[in-house]
Amino acid sequence: MATTPTTFEVDGTAICNKRMSAGMEVQQLADKAGITASYLRKLERGARTRMKPATYVRLRAALDANETELLAPHPDPPERK
């Protein structure tokens, strides 16, 4: 049975690119997602990398993003010898 993670690790560059592609300013997206502009700037700069599930869902909805496109990429685990 899958469980909801307690936080999501996000990719600030992906958030910024998606916001700019949507033609939104930081404050516009922050208002639409129900977060502060300061928090959004920190996410985009990479100063903050984790989001609570409800906040992540609101940001995704505000950007019309799918479930994974704002998540930080995870490197493949090292191969075992």
1-54 residue pLDDT tens: 567 679 999 999 999 999 999 999 999 999 999 999 999 999 999 999 999 999
Q: What is the pTM of this model?
A: 0.86
How sure is the predictor about 75, in pLDDT bands with cuts at 50, 70 and 90? confident
Contact 62, 28 (CB under 8 A): no
Distances (CA, A) of 42 to 5, 49, 71, 76: 21, 8, 15, 26
How sure is the predictor about 80, in pLDDT bands with cuts at 50, 70 and 90? low
Q: What is the pLDDT, as a whole number, of residue 74?
A: 78
Q: Is the pLDDT score of 78 beyond 90?
A: no
- Which helix (H) or strand (E) segment holds residue 51: the answer is strand 50-51
Cα dihedral angle (28, 30, 34, 38), rounded to 10 degrees?
-140
